[in-house]
Structure 1
Amino acid sequence: MASNSSTPEKMVNIAMATILFGILMARPTGAQGLGICYGMLGNDLPPYSEVVALYQQHNIGLMRMYFPVDDALQALRGSNIGLILDVPREHLQELASSADSWVRTNVLAYWPDVKFRYIAVGNELIPDAGEAQFILPAMRNVYAALSSAGLQNDIMVSTVVHGAVLGTSDPPSAGEFTGAAQAYLVPIVQFLSSTRAPLLANIYPYFAHISDDHVSLPYALFTEPATVVQDGPYSYQNIFDAMLDATYAALEKVGASDVGIVVSESGWPSAGHAAATLENAKTYNQNLIRHVKQGSGTPRRPDKAVEVYVFAMFNENQKTGAETEKHFGLFYPSKEPVYPIDFF
């Protein structure tokens, strides 16, 4: 006859199993530090639920979305995919006055079923866009709205910058923001320091390669076997690390050495330019993913694992600008891979 009582050993085993189950359930899916940007500028893209399923199928645990879409956010409920959600530039002036309604509608309505990680207030608007003046007030208001809901430690508020904010970047230790960028970024990074949030930066070795004859293809693709840049004690074999460390150096020069960086975009197009081939795109993105998986950081920040969002999930046929803009996708809208990629 079975006893209803439990032995001490059995109780310990049950307790340990319960703790382990809780840890596994709390852990985000996919490799830590690797995300894919979900651009939606296409008229042939899969339904939102199928997109989320594709992320899960490939164990992609992080996503960036460039504007809130209710159906997409609904599809993310319960997925455990960590999300960067952008505030579109057309909303910045409104949020510079008050962000309560925007946060309530686009964040609180889905939390905690949707795992927001960062709210990106403006994308690549510093220093030249007219909306740049609204970024910091909007950031403060978004943070205040999240704080009112008790989420200031769960969801971080930042903004996204591009490489042009650096006036100097070679060697990386000389990295420095332009005067025009500093006017906006100094108070912004002071705010980021006070809230312990990172700066979001889009870093593209592809554009460095095609615009500068001194940036060789191997140096851009992570395939250079030897040191290309020796910068004091720091050795660089790829320009991704050099660009990231130049941004860290720029932060140090404005007194923000404690502010981290999340790479909110990086990728390589597969068509539309002589350097934009399937092979180059595959090589860059595969090596970038391996670089992130190693968790070894950069020469200047060797102990700080890099969080990167690869651009982009799909080829988007409604992107404007250069033809390459339509060919950054890892997948076709049919959900077939543009080229084979091992995410892990």
Structure 2
Amino acid sequence: MRNIERALSSAGLGKIKVSTVVTQTILAKSYPPSIGVFHQDAEPYIKSIVQFLAVTDAPLLANVHPYYAYQYEGGHNIAISYALFTSPGTVVKDGSYNYQNLFDAMVDALYAALERADGENVRIVVAESGWPWSGMMAATVENSRTYYENLISHVGQGTPRRPGVPLQTYLYSMFDEDCKQFGLFCHDKKALHSIAFS
């Protein structure tokens, strides 16, 4: 990352931010979100990454998939409404923070871990988030559409830990991959959803 940043600067492209992407598996603890902490094995690396991001004012990119957390629990300990942003009220109370959806809880667990790693000023950009429409547990076109629509309408509000701070978020994915049916479009370019992005 330092080498890439130096190369960009020497080419007169110093305004381009350099970052890297992490998944939730980098966390040793994430529930409740306020106890989020990075795995000990990752600490030597993540500390220097966080320091680099803080100095260069670059975000940490994170893949945030409530679907995989829901699937991992087999639908037993996580309500599908919590994963799909459809819970009518608070599901998890964490001190002064109230969580109505799993996405916010996952992002805030990363924020808590960043704070513990001296990265309280490092922002998060969600590099990918999505819900499959076929081939997996609770993977339906309706659930997929619900997730994407609710995600799009929600991310502008921030999270309980960062209220009012819009969370830049990228959908996973535009087209289906082999054995991964997360696409907004099938591999033959047929649209699965009619989603408004405004």
Coarse TM-score class (shorter-chain normalised) = over 0.9
Aligned residue number for residue 47 of structure 1? none
CA distance in 2, matches of 1:253, 1:306: 20
Q: Which runs of 4+ in 1 moved over 2 A?
A: 333-336
Aligned residue number for residue 280 of structure 1? 143
Aligned residue number for residue 246 of structure 1? 109
Aligned residue number for residue 81 of structure 2? 218
Aligned residue number for residue 189 of structure 1? 50
> Mapping of 1:229-308 within 5 angstroms?
229-292=92-155, 295-308=156-169
One-letter amino acid of the counterpart of residue 309, structure 1: Y
Question: 1, 7, 27: which is aligned to 1:166?
Answer: 27
One-letter amino acid of the counterpart of residue 312, structure 1: S
Please list the CA deviations of residues 77-126 of structure 1 after superposition, one character each: whole Å capped at 9, or x if unmatched. Answer: xxxxxxxxxxxxxxxxxxxxxxxxxxxxxxxxxxxxxxxxxxxxxxxxxx
One-letter amino acid of the counterpart of residue 198, structure 1: P
CA distance in 2, matches of 1:303, 1:184: 31
Aligned residue number for residue 336 of structure 1? 190
Aligned residue number for residue 2 of structure 2? 140
Q: Secondary structure at the match of 2:176?
A: coil
CA distance in 2, matches of 1:209, 1:156: 33
CA distance in 1, matches of 2:8, 2:2: 10
Q: Give the deviation of 1:304 after TM superposition.
A: 1.7
Please list the CA deviations of residues 159-184 of structure 1 after superposition, one character each: whole Å capped at 9, or x if unmatched. Answer: 00011001100111000001011121
Q: Secondary structure at the match of 2:20?
A: strand
Q: How many residues align?
A: 196
Larger Rg: 1
Q: Give the deviation of 1:209 after TM superposition.
A: 0.5
CA distance in 2, matches of 1:274, 1:211: 10
One-letter amino acid of the counterpart of residue 255, structure 1: D
CA distance in 1, matches of 2:143, 2:164: 29
Q: Give the deviation of 1:251 after TM superposition.
A: 0.3
> Mapping of 1:1-344 within 5 angstroms?
139-153=1-15, 155-212=16-73, 213-292=76-155, 295-317=156-178, 323=179, 325=180, 327-344=181-198
What is the identity percentage for the equivalent residue pairs of Structure 1 and Structure 2? 54
Q: Secondary structure at the match of 1:340?
A: coil
Q: Secondary structure at the match of 1:156?
A: coil
CA distance in 2, matches of 1:304, 1:191: 22
Q: Give the deviation of 1:234 after TM superposition.
A: 0.7
One-letter amino acid of the counterpart of residue 153, structure 2: R
Q: Which blocks of at least 5 consecutive residues in structure 1 are unaligned?
A: 1-138, 318-322
CA distance in 1, matches of 2:93, 2:119: 24
Q: Which blocks of at least 5 consecutive residues in structure 2 are unaligned?
A: none
Q: Which has the higher helix share?
A: 1
CA distance in 1, matches of 2:89, 2:163: 18
Please list the CA deviations of residues 51-79 of structure 1 after superposition, one character each: whole Å capped at 9, or x if unmatched. Answer: xxxxxxxxxxxxxxxxxxxxxxxxxxxxx
One-letter amino acid of the counterpart of residue 161, structure 2: R
One-letter amino acid of the counterpart of residue 185, structure 1: I
One-letter amino acid of the counterpart of residue 33, structure 2: P
CA distance in 1, matches of 2:21, 2:3: 17
CA distance in 1, matches of 2:49, 2:137: 38
Query: TM-score, normalized by length of structure 1?
Result: 0.56
Q: Say whether the 8 Å CA contact 2:71–2:137 is kept in structure 1.
A: no
